[in-house]
Structure 1
Amino acid sequence: MTTATLTGRRPANAHPWLRFAVRRFGGLLVGLAVLLVATFLMVHLIPGDPVRNVVGLNAKPEDVERMREALGLNLPLWQQFGRYLSGLFTGDLGISLRTRIPVSTVVASGLSASASLAAVAFVAVILIAVPLGMTVGVLTARGRRRALQTTFTAVTGLFASIPGFLLAVGLVYFFAVANPWLPVSGRAGWTSYLMPVTALAIAPIAGLSRIVRSQTAVVLGEDYLRTARSKQLPDRLLYLRHTLPNLLTATLTIGGMLLPGLLGGAVIIENVFNWPGIGTQVVIAVTGKDFPVAQTIILILGAAVLIVNAVVDLIIAAIDPRSTLRED
């Protein structure tokens, strides 16, 4: 019997995934802490006086001081940060300078709309890009069908390079102005999702499908695939049981990296389609100098990216421990 058995203790590497999860959670906390500090300092780093931007340059000194006191900007910096953290944990995010209603109410009204748009776009990217890239990778493996590979590369390269806002404007003109088939703006029914999701997902679909095609070509050249093919397995089993699982790690990694692009692109896309989400709200808040609202939205977007990336890392570690797990 081993020493670990005699002592009743498990080996230090008995739970590598759990240890990796703890380390990844620690990294997430550090990232969130940096994000908190950055969003807090945003008001202090922006040129100009945010109070003057609210009350106007010709306001009386007593009005300026009253507003500064209401915002807590007359307190020492460490006390302001303490109030900021306290507000986050208690749900008191302050008052919108533009509408004079609680920031939580303003943000909550657009959060569900943005989340639904980003979620539908992300699902569309995965469901279209992975089968498309894998199919083209199988058809063009080992140098076959050069014309198909060239056409696929050219078309996906073109769509990947088109700016989202330009595609959005084109969709509005064709499907809403020239041909009134789809609603031009707002969120009313499933048809209102078609144009914003298309504008948001086309470039990620093109980019991810190119990566999946390349990874498929690599996987099909591995020894274990040649062994499986020598056993005369049906193509369906060969591709679904042996090829697809080995593409999941790269696909999930790239998919997690695509999320910040989807969230960032949503800010522009929502404004083109007048989508009632936080992308529209953050533009209004920044242009209107509504710093409490802008702070909260930027914090939410940043935290969402950090959390999703951490979850993707944990999923990848569970699927393929060799790709992420490391011994201490």
Structure 2
Amino acid sequence: MTSALAASGLRSSPWLSFAGRRLGRFAVSLWVLVTMAFLMIQLIPGDPVRAALGLTAPVDLVNARREALGLDDPLWMQYLDYLGGLITGDFGTSMTSGLPVSDVIGDRLPATLELALPAFAVVIAVAIPLGVLFAVLTRGGRRRGGELAFTSTTVLLAAIPEFLLAVALVAFFAVQLGWFPVAGSEGAGSLVLPIIALALGPASVLARIVRVEMLSVLGHDFIRTARAKRLPARLVYVRHALPNALTATLTLGGLMLTGMVAGTVLVENVFAWPGLGSTIAQSILQKDYPLVQAIVLVYGIGVLLVNLTVDVLLAVLDPRSTIRES
């Protein structure tokens, strides 16, 4: 009786149903990600321990390392041990340094977040106001020159790869002008160029998306009705038009922002930033597969969290879509 009432209450509450669906999808996606990360070492041709230690490593050392990593156990036992380790925060041991992988990630993750989170904030803070502004200025075919300049500039900036943009920023602002450090983490000034390199391309793309969606919303009947009531322009644009434009914008923008996760790897290597991006590049070269495996898992979880956050924001902006979703 109690379980039936609970199930009835879940069905009667669209928000609880929404939360259950989203958390269920997140759990399934997380399980697939963990399984693929586990299979990464299994699918590597040859012996990953021999590849990491080198061809000249003694056989006893190779066998001891394989035994320590549990690679001689049956596959199902390795998988269960891997899941159990993840639950307890044990990501394994680095093949090159011998340190726990969780310690390496704990040391490097804050540096990556120090770049990624401000870059996300810059993208949102720049792209949304800029897209709204140019939508208002160019609506109805007005200011063709401004529209052409906006479109051309954002297309050009979005087409520049993060790696190339980072190199250009270093060459001009750090080497030639000397305004910022060339590389490394040396205070707040060393954050400026990496954040610009990460945020400029995504901000350009998102600004174009916001402008297109805002122009579409401004042509709807309810906007004409709001203007006919002589509501202040700020109220029309911010309260009535912007929430409707952001619904579609967040759907596309969320997919685009996940690409910034990969961008941190390239940018960190250009600026020698002591984060996960530079660590995974070094680990791949050193064939430190447990460390690569764990960092890939951390990046994948970051992507899943971004997608989950976008889903929640969409539900807040447009609750009706949540109620209608089956």
1:149 pairs with 147, 150, 165, which one?
Answer: 147
How far 1:10 sits from its partner (Å)?
Answer: 6.9
Aligned to 1:118: 116
Cα distance change of structure 1 residues 248 and 48 upon mapping to structure 2, 3 Å threshold: same
Aligned to 1:257: 255
Runs (5+) with no aligned partner, structure 1: 1-6
Aligned to 1:52: 50
* 3-state DSSP of counterpart to 2:282: helix
How far 1:281 sits from its partner (Å)?
Answer: 0.6
For residues 147 and 279 of structure 1, the distance between their equivalents in structure 2, rounded to whole angstroms, comes to 40
For residues 271 and 156 of structure 1, the distance between their equivalents in structure 2, rounded to whole angstroms, comes to 25
How far 1:204 sits from its partner (Å)?
Answer: 0.5
For residues 52 and 10 of structure 1, the distance between their equivalents in structure 2, rounded to whole angstroms, comes to 57
List per-residue Cα deviations over 1:233-276 (Å, max 9, x = no partner).
12111111211222222233233223321110000000000111
Aligned to 1:174: 172
Q: CA RMSD in A?
A: 1.7
For residues 120 and 310 of structure 1, the distance between their equivalents in structure 2, rounded to whole angstroms, comes to 19
- The amino acid across from 1:292 in the alignment is P
Aligned to 2:216: 218
For residues 233 and 64 of structure 1, the distance between their equivalents in structure 2, rounded to whole angstroms, comes to 75
For residues 94 and 175 of structure 1, the distance between their equivalents in structure 2, rounded to whole angstroms, comes to 41
- 1:165 aligned onto 2:171: no
For residues 234 and 64 of structure 1, the distance between their equivalents in structure 2, rounded to whole angstroms, comes to 74
- The amino acid across from 2:47 in the alignment is D
TM-score, structure 2 length as denominator?
0.94
- 1:89 aligned onto 2:97: no
Cα distance change of structure 1 residues 53 and 13 upon mapping to structure 2, 3 Å threshold: closer
- 1:79 aligned onto 2:77: yes
* 3-state DSSP of counterpart to 2:227: helix
Cα distance change of structure 1 residues 10 and 42 upon mapping to structure 2, 3 Å threshold: closer
For residues 62 and 198 of structure 1, the distance between their equivalents in structure 2, rounded to whole angstroms, comes to 49
- The amino acid across from 1:252 in the alignment is L
For residues 327 and 149 of structure 1, the distance between their equivalents in structure 2, rounded to whole angstroms, comes to 37
- The amino acid across from 1:59 in the alignment is A
- The amino acid across from 1:132 in the alignment is L
Number of residues paired by the alignment? 321
For residues 37 and 125 of structure 2, the distance between their equivalents in structure 1, rounded to whole angstroms, comes to 35
For residues 132 and 327 of structure 1, the distance between their equivalents in structure 2, rounded to whole angstroms, comes to 32
For residues 8 and 88 of structure 2, the distance between their equivalents in structure 1, rounded to whole angstroms, comes to 41
Runs (5+) with no aligned partner, structure 2: none
* 3-state DSSP of counterpart to 2:24: helix
1:232-243 to structure 2, matched below 5 A, reads 232-243=230-241
For residues 59 and 13 of structure 1, the distance between their equivalents in structure 2, rounded to whole angstroms, comes to 61
- 1:31 aligned onto 2:29: yes
TM-score, structure 1 length as denominator?
0.93
- Identity rate, percent: 51
For residues 326 and 290 of structure 1, the distance between their equivalents in structure 2, rounded to whole angstroms, comes to 48
How far 1:121 sits from its partner (Å)?
Answer: 0.5
For residues 210 and 327 of structure 1, the distance between their equivalents in structure 2, rounded to whole angstroms, comes to 28
List per-residue Cα deviations over 1:182-235 (Å, max 9, x = no partner).
011112222111100111111101100001111111111010100010111121
